[in-house]
Amino acid sequence: MQRRREDPGERQGWRRPDASMSLLADLFAGRALDPGYAEAAARRQAAEGEDGAPDPGHGPGKDRSRRRGRLFRAGVPAVLAAIGLLAAVAAAEVRRSEPVAASQRSRLVAEIRDRTARTDDLQRRVDALREQTQRQRASALARSAAGRQAREDVAAAGNAAAATAVTGPALVLVVDDAPREDAAERRDRPDEGRVYDQDLQILVNGLWAAGAAAVGVNGQRLTPTTAIRTAGEAVLVDYRPLSAPYEVTAISGAAGGPEALERAFRDSAAGRRARLLEERYGIRVEIGVRDRVRLPGAGALRLRYARPPATGPGEDP
């Protein structure tokens, strides 16, 4: 059996009838429930005026309000000064970085132009050496009947692979972006007036289907493995960037010459696409015939992974 703490009233056998109501009795009697409450009441009575109203210039609440006001008035100018200092530093950094960015951009543009000019010069030298090699090879093969047959086979393979230069009358398509004033009218769709890589793909495939024997874009010969892609705002043909206007040249390989090629192209889906680009999007598409056009041979295909099989002594190649 557990013991419990006994109350003194229980030992005497008597309890006050109002013992359970002592808290309410103290409240109605005006007695303080805690010494802290009594101290706070004394301070409040001391701060009151003669008429019993509290002094508006004293008291803990008023002191705290005054301290907050002083801190606020002192802190706002400091915060504004810090913001102004940060803004001034940021503006100075921007002004300081602008000339550096402009100089770096101009240096990069100059380097790109220099490298492009060097690449073009090297390409011209390669074309000249390739033509010289072809002439020497043709002269050597013409000395015998077997050589002449081999020359014909090499010429046919070279034409199929676009490795040899081609000259003759051609159909020329000039495709250019829409004028700026027309693009300004389509402010919500400003890119609709630009020529995309897929537009050139459709036009080139249409020329092949119409009977073209050789096709070039801006003087660059297209091969069976040529890719026309885009990178940002530039159109790439075999990873070489081209800019508008785009001149698509097609030398006819069928009877009737470039005139027959033009009729077949205009009646094809690619011809309808060209008219759509011109009528709906303002893209300039001009189709004409030239009497003599020369398309250079394309570079040799470089095999990155395929290799001829290795043959040992006594093995068939």
Q: Is 49 helix (H, G, I), strand (E, B) or coil?
A: coil
225 by Cβ neighbours in 10 Å (0-12 / 13-18 / 19+) ranks as exposed
Question: 202 CB contacts (<8 Å, ≥6 apart)?
Answer: 269, 270, 273
Kindly list the averaged pLDDT for each block of 10 residues, start to end, along the chain of length 317: 44 47 49 57 62 49 58 67 80 70 80 85 84 84 86 80 86 91 59 87 94 91 88 83 91 84 94 93 92 83 69 52
Task: Give the whole-angstrom CA distance, residue 163 versus residue 238.
Answer: 15
Distance (Å) of CA 174 to CA 231, 244, 286? 21, 9, 5
Instruction: Name the nearest CA neighbour of 289 among 187, 111, 170.
Output: 170
Q: What is the pLDDT of residue 8?
A: 44
For 133-194, give the DSSP string.
HHHHHHHHHTTSHHHHHHHHHHHHHHHHTT-S-EEEEEEEEEEEPPPHHHHHHTTTSGGGGS
Q: What is the pLDDT of residue 286?
A: 94
Q: Are the C-beta atoms of residues 277 and 158 closer than 8 Å to each other?
A: no
Task: Give the whole-angstrom CA distance, residue 306 versus residue 317.
Answer: 16
Structure token pair of residue 47: 């701060």
Q: What is the pLDDT of residue 249?
A: 95
C-alpha atoms less than 13 angstroms from C-alpha of 91 in its C-beta half-sphere: 6
Question: 251 CB contacts (<8 Å, ≥6 apart)?
Answer: 166, 167, 168, 169, 170, 212, 213, 214, 215, 258, 293, 295
Q: What is the pLDDT of residue 10?
A: 47
Q: Are the C-beta atoms of residues 200 and 194 closer than 8 Å to each other?
A: no
Element of type H or E holding 235: strand 234-237
pTM (2 d.p.): 0.56
Question: 295 CB contacts (<8 Å, ≥6 apart)?
Answer: 165, 166, 167, 170, 214, 215, 216, 219, 221, 249, 251
Task: For each of the domains in the chain, give its residue range(s) and CATH number, in order of start.
Answer: 166-295 (3.30.70.1880)
Instruction: Name the nearest CA neighbour of 259 among 284, 291, 285, 219.
Output: 291
Element of type H or E holding 238: none
Q: What is the pLDDT of residue 189?
A: 63
Q: What is the pLDDT of residue 1?
A: 41
Radius of gyration of the chain (CA): 47
Q: What is the pLDDT of residue 242?
A: 87
In the chain, the amino acid numbered 93 is: E
Q: What is the pLDDT of residue 24?
A: 47
